[in-house]
Amino acid sequence: MLDNIDAVNLQDLDAAHHFHPFTDHKDLHARGVRVITSAEGVFLHDAKGNKILDAMAGLWCVAAGYGRSELVEAAAKQMTKLPYYNTFFKTTNEPAVMLATKLAQIAPEGMNHAFFACSGSEAVDSALRTARVYWQTLGKPQKKIIIGREYGYHGSTTLGASAGGMVDMHRQAGDMPNFRHILPPYWYGKGGQMSPEEFGIYAARQLEAKIKELGAENVAAFIGEPIQGAGGVIIPPETYWPEVNRICKENDILLIADEVICGFGRTGKMFGSDYFGIKPDMMTLAKGITSGYLPLSAVMLHDRVAEVMINDAGEYYHGFTYSGHPVSCAVALKNIEILENEKLVAGAAAKGETLRAKLAEALADNPIVGEIRGVGLIGAIELTADKRTRKFFEKNGRVGGICRDFCFANGVIMRAVRDTMVFSPPLTINDDEIDMMVELAKKSIGQTYDAVKSEVAS
């Protein structure tokens, strides 16, 4: 039946029956959905025969690139041997054990236990529930409040969306009680006249002020992405995380690093916590853990937390049917082996530098490029109406949308967050592909400038 379904049919059927995540359906149906048919390396193919450079690695996840037969074989082998069994009833399976062991090996010092789930949202949800169980067990049940940040993204479950700082998500579906949000360490957008270093301290001290206001005896945890991805690749000044470490420690607040994007090499270190020197009590992992080939996530517990949870908490009333799924875990193990064998983590650091240098050169004369920033292979380009004053365009998000559409039409996928173009290509991207990405970005941002010229300060 599927053989003779062509792209047009799929578009119609999609419009008729498929309800999409994060989509304005009226707008989608007016334009027609794009059907992705196959992929290899850093390239996607669509049903119209276009070849597109995926500078987003899917949704930040396809670290090892598309078309990796090793991952396919690892899945097939495990599916044949044991496709599924749960890890609830005093049972385990080899891939889950070996992956937990491997994660303990590569995670920062003291992170020795992994709890498995299927998505980043579930990992965040699990970490937040664990934080509350932890404080309850220690006889401090009133420590319940979770502090997150504006523009933070921690997934789409109700707890994850509440911890995140995406106002549209809160507005539409409501957020839970006992969540608060502070200023993000977004120097370009919020730093005013401060230097980035000053602003890093200033932004971290917003946490201290918020804890004081709420009372440390009421606060369970602070959650933050090492680099805020979906919020616009917000890279904190280097003064920020050391100050947050200090504040959490002094106030006896758990620190949760949401490594769903930064984990597995994106920053040029295995974890964002390694890059910034974050001292987390828990880390949430997903996306790059399997390069997106199968759904999987994990919460890593520091010994401090694990000892309380194991020795004193009794039964942990939490878990998922697919926690420790053997096939997902087998694929994750093979994926981490690829990252290590091909030295993709160190490679991300070097390639990121090359990419940013080339972007800086190619975009130097474009008046709407306000800042190019990045760490490893995650980065952003700020589009601005006035470079000197870091002034944004009217109707934030409009110019970003124009640029994203030019990118798509030219054959490169970058995402627009407000008027910030963000990118995170597969870690396997090679020199020629970096050149191609830079050329296509230059062309697309050039066309964007032509389209909005009249609004740009001269």
- Using only C-alpha atoms, the chain has a radius of gyration, in whole angstroms, of 22
Amino acid at 286: A
Given the complex with ligand PLP, which of 120 and 237 has the nearer CB atom?
Answer: 120
Q: How many residues bind ligand PLP (CB under 6 A)?
A: 14
Q: Which of 62, 230, 369, 377 binds ligand PLP (CB under 6 A)?
A: 230
Select from 142-150, 222-230, 234-242, 365-373 the region that touches ligand PLP (CB under 6 A). 222-230
Given the complex with ligand PLP, which of 162 and 444 has the nearer CB atom?
Answer: 162
**Which distant-in-sequence residues (6+ apart) come within 8 Å of 226 by Cβ?**
236, 241, 257, 258, 259, 262, 267, 271, 272, 273, 275, 276, 278
Q: Which of 258, 274, 382, 433 binds ligand PLP (CB under 6 A)?
A: 258
What is the C-alpha to C-alpha distance for residues 301 and 265, in angstroms, rounded to an integer? 20
What is the C-alpha to C-alpha distance for residues 450 and 427, in angstroms, rounded to an integer? 32
What are the tokens at 217? 């005896």
Q: For the segment 388-427, give every residue that binds ligand PLP (CB under 6 A).
A: none
Strand order in the sheet with 415-417: 369-375, 378-383, 420-423, 415-417
Given the complex with ligand PLP, which of 231 and 370 has the nearer CB atom?
Answer: 231
Q: For the segment 277-296, give every residue that binds ligand PLP (CB under 6 A).
A: 286
Encode 367-403: b = buried (16+ Cβ within 10 Å), e = exposed.
Answer: ebbbebbbbbbbbbbbbbbbbeebebbeeeeebbebb
CB of 326 to ligand PLP, least distance (A): 19
Given the complex with ligand PLP, which of 262 and 436 has the nearer CB atom?
Answer: 262
CB of 449 to ligand PLP, least distance (A): 30
Q: For the segment 109-128, give every residue that binds ligand PLP (CB under 6 A).
A: 119-121, 124
The runs of H, that is alpha helices, within 253-397 are: 272-276, 303-311, 326-341, 344-363
Given the complex with ligand PLP, which of 165 and 370 has the nearer CB atom?
Answer: 165
Answer yes or no: are the C-beta atoms of 326 and 318 closer than 8 Å.
no
What is the C-alpha to C-alpha distance for residues 316 and 330, in angstroms, rounded to an integer? 25
CB of 378 to ligand PLP, least distance (A): 11
Q: According to the binding rule CB under 6 A, does residue 260 interact with ligand PLP? A: yes
Q: Give CA separation, 225 vs 30, 178, 232, 256, in Å.
A: 35, 19, 12, 8
Residue 354 neighbours by CB distance under 10 Å: 14
CB of 390 to ligand PLP, least distance (A): 25
Tell me whether strands 111-117 and 145-149 are parallel, antiparallel or unpaired.
unpaired
Positive or negative torsion for Cα 138, 297, 261, 157: negative
Chain position whose Cβ is nearest to ligand PLP: 120
Q: According to the binding rule CB under 6 A, does residue 225 interact with ligand PLP? A: yes
Q: According to the binding rule CB under 6 A, does residue 229 interact with ligand PLP? A: yes
Q: Which of 154, 269, 351, 356 binds ligand PLP (CB under 6 A)?
A: 154
CB of 370 to ligand PLP, least distance (A): 24
CB of 457 to ligand PLP, least distance (A): 34
Q: For the segment 177-216, give every residue that binds ligand PLP (CB under 6 A).
A: none
Given the complex with ligand PLP, which of 230 and 336 has the nearer CB atom?
Answer: 230
Given the complex with ligand PLP, which of 153 and 187 has the nearer CB atom?
Answer: 153
Q: Which residues bind to ligand PLP, rule: CB under 6 A?
A: 119-121, 124, 153-155, 225, 229-230, 258, 260-261, 286
